[in-house]
Structure 1
């Protein structure tokens, strides 16, 4: 991918410090707070985005609940999606990621440093345990994001159906759900170009427990899906 190569070339002198020192240091999670570890990634991603000739437009950050312990539900377009969240979300936020990423060089170190939760999507029993664990973490004030589509759409700004099971985390934790619309994020790494690219991230108004407590998780999934889809259609510049 040309843009990844461009980023590596433009930050190559920083890499030994970032990964050779900082990441190895912050992998010792008992010695450093999540705020310090996440703050490092938050700053690095802003540099990486700029060096990659990407302009990220952020809207609705004021919609995030003032108190931590909420569930962020974005649509999934590509590799840039987590970076868009890291760059715009200043408070620490964790995620559930597919198990395969836990063995990818460099990525596995970030997963450990940020205390992300790898999950084998084919193991139903393990999945149930992870949902329970994450819901407890959210109830205790941790923020989490999970892509409800389960995989990236691979179809531009069109989104897939959202999986209801994802929202069990929020219902068990009685936590606010923050829908997030990602627009044109797929262009960053999926298009084989280094031309300047603009992507958007929209934090929509949260849906609080009192609003969804009587709804089935599939209905919650559709509600969030439709809000994100409406935002995408309104702001897609073609």
Structure 2
């Protein structure tokens, strides 16, 4: 909460205008292209990070696929995760998030602008529809992000078990899977401090369809989890 207040205080001239613009864009998504929406959100994100003493340290940008139609699979540390990746990634992407997060002010408007899918984990039929819809969108060339843990780890830089079902949309779309390792992304919003923090975003080498087509989704999940865990262990500062 303290950092959010700091972000607002240091951007007093900017926040009212940006909030009004964000709400308008969230209510009129058809008036803007995906690139225009993403560019605006990224601009707001940059202001918030600068005001909140948050530095994004990006690694592996060269690993981003040259063509759109890929999916990010990051570890899930906190509410700040998506905002960290938005600053780190110049390429537009959208999100698959649990429906509860879709009611949080600011994130609600951001997800609307990104035309994100909100997943009801208690409704199997709705979850399957989301998987099918996301796979179709990826086949059309859109990029998406799914947190394969399903929920925040709430354990700092320790990660939870990745769930195979999270990878079904990717396997249906036969798209590149991009593992993303987040370090210290839990600090900005989940720690009650305003001390400067550096969040690391590591884009790892993509898994192409040929790399995983013979694997079960549970095996893909275990492989991606292993790669992210090893990256975190190698880069976290104790």
| Root mean square deviation, CA, Å | 1.2
Corresponding residue number in structure 1 for 2:177: 177
Deviation at 1:178, TM superposition (A): 0.2
In the TM superposition, 1:195-210 aligns within 5 A as 195-210=195-210
Corresponding residue number in structure 2 for 1:40: 40
1:133-155 deviation digits (Å, cap 9, x = unpaired): 00110111000001000011111
In the alignment, does 2:152 pair up with 1:152? yes
Aligned length: 238
Deviation at 1:22, TM superposition (A): 4.5
- In structure 1, distance between residues paired with 2:167 and 2:31: 32
Corresponding residue number in structure 2 for 1:229: 229
Corresponding residue number in structure 2 for 1:139: 139
**Distance verdict in 2 for CA 1:25–1:167, change over 3 Å:** closer
1:106-131 deviation digits (Å, cap 9, x = unpaired): 33222211101111111011100110
In the TM superposition, 1:1-238 aligns within 5 A as 1-25=1-25, 27-238=27-238
Contact 1:26/1:32, CA 8 A, preserved across alignment:
no
1:147-174 deviation digits (Å, cap 9, x = unpaired): 0000111111110000000100110000
When the two structures are superposed, what TM-score results if normalisation uses the length of structure 1?
A: 0.97
- In structure 1, distance between residues paired with 2:175 and 2:74: 16
- In structure 1, distance between residues paired with 2:16 and 2:120: 32
Contact 1:101/1:107, CA 8 A, preserved across alignment:
yes
- In structure 1, distance between residues paired with 2:77 and 2:99: 19
Unpaired runs of at least 5, structure 2: none
Deviation at 1:26, TM superposition (A): 5.2
Deviation at 1:217, TM superposition (A): 0.1
- In structure 2, distance between residues paired with 1:112 and 1:195: 31
Give 3-state SS (helix, strand or coil) of 1:96's partner: strand
